Amino acid sequence: MGAWGFQAFENDDALDWLEELEAGGAEVVRQGLTAVADGYIEAPDGSVAVAAAEITAAAQGNPHGDLPEEVATWVTAHGSALTAEDAQLALEAVERVAGDKSELAELWDEADEPEWKESLDNLSERLREALT
């Protein structure tokens, strides 16, 4: 796993995906979230889904305090296209990535990094707040 930290944008897969995000709109975020809808979730798809969920939370007014500049810029320019339905989709994606059918969850468990799970709990809470 090409990760140097447990936050959503501290891994190669999420940063590579940001290039796609720059070229596309809200549909790229939705694709990132729906890629983890079924079956076993491979680590790259899980990393992208978490990044997409962070963008969705930010677009709903609940950003993480440490968003990369290019993400904050994208949210300012395009975030209004992400709706409460997208926030629900993001919440479901985060729950699946944190679950027992997720390679990413297995890798972070093996690395004994409880901060990763705590960061997902925080993200889930920010998404729930967007839904109320």
The string of pLDDT tens digits covering residues 46-89 is 999 999 999 999 999 999 888 999 999 999 999 999 999 999 99
- 115 domain residue, yes or no: yes
* Percent share of the chain, pLDDT over 90: 87
Burial of 91 (0-12, 13-18, 19+ CB in 10 A): buried
Query: Domain for residue 65, yes or no?
Result: yes
Q: Residue 4: inside a domain, yes or no?
A: no
Look at residue 33 and tell me if it is in a domain: yes
Count how many domains the chain has: 1
Average pLDDT value for residue range 1-11:
83
Burial of 94 (0-12, 13-18, 19+ CB in 10 A): buried
pLDDT score at 6: 87
pTM over 0.75: yes
Q: Three-state DSSP class for 65?
A: coil
- Tell me the residue range of the domain where 121 lies: 12-131
- The answer to whether residue 5 sits within a structural domain is no
Mean pLDDT of the chain: 94
